[in-house]
Chains A and B, each alone.
Chain A
Amino acid sequence: MAEIRVQNLRKAFGAFVAVQDSNFVVEDGEFFVMLGPSGCGKTTTLRMIAGLELPTGGKILLGGEDVTMRRARERDIAFVFQLFALYPHMNVRKNIGFPLLAQGMPAAEIRSRVEETAKLLRIDHLLNKSVSGLAGGDRQRVALGRAIVRRPKCFLMDEPLGTLDTEFRDLMVHELRELHNRIHATTVYVTHDQMEAMSMADKIAVMNHGVIEQFGTPREIYDRPATMFVADFIGSPPMNFLKFGGGLARGAKEIVVQGAKVAVPEVREDIAPADMALGIRPEHIRFDDGSKLRGAIYGTEYLGTTQIVAVETADGIIKARVPAGIPLNPGEQVGLALSSARLSLFEKGSGRAVRTVMHDQAAEARHG
């Protein structure tokens, strides 16, 4: 196992820049997820780490070794493809043993390694079956088996659950995480599904247009989104934005939104007057008739334990997640109270988050 260090990695296809100056470190044994919409450069980054694409610039270090320009087969990594790429002309046993065959391992040893791996993945009863007859989940397990049988430096996975049914996907998410907890292999996992990312990752990099918008733990990314894109991409429903104007001074603790004063986490930088946005997670909204921030109920979505309520405000619709028991009628006027300590502030132009006491507290907690 090894750490992966990506430095100023860049990839251009002609005039189109797929990946722009990426920098991140995946620690040894970490489960790292690259998350983003399709076309954001996450798969290209993964393929560069694998050696299937050569970067236009930058460096990739695997366990401290510069492998940027090395061939895929010289990198000692394993790759799980979205469509699994199981060889249809080989049975399960041969598929799993295929990487060992390349190393010239004696047949008896291949046999025992393959069987050991199959037991780990609970597919030992399928070893002599043809891969074409397998169900989605089993194909996935065979693909994983082919990856782990070699005990490589790291695993790279490109949306490996993308083609599975939702039901199977949840099961495989748990299996994957459990497998990772057992073998502690450095893993880079690419997906566009935030649920997969949040439930499996130690660290997440959220990518958009070839740029890493934020790199951090699932908690950091959810609680303190670095950009409006991240805030909008993560969370279901996503973060609400209410616009407000004017600059912010260091130490400010209050802003004015739609004529209502809203307490916010203490601002820790000076911002020149510009269009700003207040970011509120749906679960940080309560109904409070005393609040000056008001709106009319537009519709509700009942989810059992909670309900998502769409409220029409002067600045468009915002969604609140409130307990399912509260009776609400469309058209009803409500006041909105916000959990001040959990709010985010953004510069609308750049989309960047304003530094507040939340960030400082998190930094202290990390170093303290």
Chain B
Amino acid sequence: MSLTTAHSVVAPSSNAKLIAGTIIIAYALISIVPLLWIFATSFKTPPDSIAYPPKIVFQPSIEGYCNLFTTRTRQTPEYINALGPPTGFCDETVRKRNMVIAGPSNFLPRFVNSLIIAFGSTFCAVFLGTLSAYGFSRFKVPLADDLLFFILSTRFMPPIAVAIPIYLMYRELGLSDTALGMILLYTAVNVSLAVWLLKGFIDEIPREYEEAAMIDGYTRLQAFWRTVLPQATTGIAATAIFCLIFAWNEYAFAALLTSGTAQTAPPFIPTIIGEGGQDWPAVAAGTTIFLVPILVFTILLRKQLLRGITFGAVRK
């Protein structure tokens, strides 16, 4: 055994730690710049957002958020002066640009669509995935290897490669532009990932737990519910985050299959650009709000996620 290999298994030296730490911090900073830029832009006024050179220090404004949640019409100053006093901060900001609020924008319903579709499909994929993974893990399923390979094979090409057949099928079935259709689609895409990930986790849970519970008077389903599930929470949480991130960020299918009532936020946000000039603060505000659910979900489950991702590398 060479000296370097022997060295690498002992605790890293302080120098190595310093270098590793520097690289990680540098990478983190580079990664976070676009996010910070979006976040900053969402609080700029439209002129500030396209100023050159770019403004690092600026007067914050929530105009972007006002524009995101409302539709506005341009009016003459006389008309605006004839109105009563502004009803709120947004009203006041908008009037300064010779506009009046005409009504709420579609952002909120689109955002709610995203929530319903992403969380709904994540729930379905994880639910089906857990049950199938348990089945594959514990029972002698005929052709189990072939079936698992078949499940995996649905991910051999990018899902969007089958966009046209799915578009035609959805039109025939009346699933176009429905939340149900999108939930089914994202579930179908995610379920193979869920089965494979969860099978790994469930394989690691000794059968003795269920066997003990079944001997102690529980049915298999009860044993699964009371002994396997509590120990699989880490895997379930990690799988759920992966599924949620996919469903939440998915753009191509959403753009193709949803246009109205079931439209999700990703295809909606770019449409803001077209309305009354390039309103970058509103786009940035939409993006910022769009990031929040994933951020919250990930922070809530971060412990499980960390253990889930390093799973297999670290033994209990």
Contacts and interface: CB of A to CB of B under 8 A. Distances in A.
Contact of A98 (B208, B211, B213, B231): B213
A87 B215 contact: no
A146 B209 contact: no
Contacts of B231: 88-89
Q: Interface centre among B212, B214, B222, B231, by most A CB within 10 Å? A: B212
A102 B208 contact: no
B24 to A, nearest CB: 31
Interface in A62-98: 71-73, 75, 77-79, 81, 83, 85, 87-89, 98
A157 interface: no
Interface in A95-133: 98-99, 102-103
B214 A72 contact: yes
Given A83-B206, A85-B206, A150 B216 contact: yes
A310 to B, nearest CB: 38
A78 B215 contact: yes
B199 to A, nearest CB: 20
B217 interface: yes
B217 A103 contact: yes
Given A83-B206, A87-B227, A89-B231, A73 B217 contact: yes
Contact of A72 (B206, B209, B211, B230): B211
A170 B56 CA distance: 74
Interface string B43-74: 00000000000000000000000000000000
A52 interface: yes
Contacts of B216: 73, 78, 98-99, 102, 146, 150
Contacts of A83: 206, 208
A51 interface: yes
A50 interface: yes
Most chain A C-beta atoms within 10 Å of own C-beta, residue among B206, B216, B219: B216
B149 interface: no
B218 interface: yes
Given A83-B206, A88-B231, A89-B231, A99 B211 contact: no
B234 to A, nearest CB: 11
Interface in A39-74: 50-52, 71-73
Interface residues on B, range: 10 to 19
Interface in B196-241: 206, 208-209, 211-219, 222, 226-227, 230-231
A85 B226 CA distance: 13
Contacts of B215: 50-52, 72-73, 75, 77-79
A2 to B, nearest CB: 16
Interface in A145-177: 146, 150
Contacts of B222: 102
Among A52, A89, A102, A103, which residue has the most Cβ atoms of chain B within 10 A? Answer: A102
B208 A73 contact: no
Given A79-B212, A85-B212, A102 B217 contact: yes
A89 to B, nearest CB: 4
A355 to B, nearest CB: 42
A52 B230 CA distance: 22
Contacts of B219: 73
A11 to B, nearest CB: 15
Contacts of A71: 214
A75 B214 CA distance: 10
Given A73-B219, A89-B230, A81 B212 contact: yes
B209 A87 contact: yes
Contacts of A150: 216-217
A102 B220 CA distance: 12
Contacts of B218: 73, 102
Contacts of A87: 209, 226-227, 230
Contacts of A88: 231
Contacts of A51: 215
Contacts of A77: 215
A78 B216 CA distance: 7
Nearest to A81: B208
Nearest to A80: B212
A85 B217 contact: no
Contact of A52 (B206, B211, B226, B227): B211
B280 to A, nearest CB: 49
Nearest to A149: B216
A133 to B, nearest CB: 14
Contacts of A99: 216-217
Contacts of A98: 213, 216
Nearest to A98: B216
Nearest to A52: B211
A88 B212 CA distance: 13
Q: Which residue among B208, B218, B226 has the maximum number of chain A CB atoms within 10 Å of its CB? A: B208
Nearest to B205: A88
Interface of A: 50-52, 71-73, 75, 77-79, 81, 83, 85, 87-89, 98-99, 102-103, 146, 150
Instruction: Give 3 closest A-B pairs by Cβ, nearest first.
Output: A102-B217, A99-B216, A85-B208
30 contacts: A50-B215, A51-B215, A52-B211, A52-B214, A52-B215, A72-B214, A73-B214, A73-B215, A73-B218, A73-B219, A75-B215, A78-B215, A79-B211, A79-B212, A81-B208, A81-B211, A81-B212, A83-B206, A83-B208, A85-B206, A85-B209, A87-B209, A89-B230, A99-B217, A102-B213, A103-B217, A146-B212, A146-B216, A150-B216, A150-B217
Interface of B: 206, 208-209, 211-219, 222, 226-227, 230-231
Given A102-B216, A102-B222, 17 more contacts: A52-B214, A73-B214, A73-B216, A73-B219, A78-B215, A78-B216, A79-B211, A79-B215, A81-B212, A83-B206, A85-B206, A87-B209, A87-B226, A87-B230, A99-B216, A102-B217, A150-B217
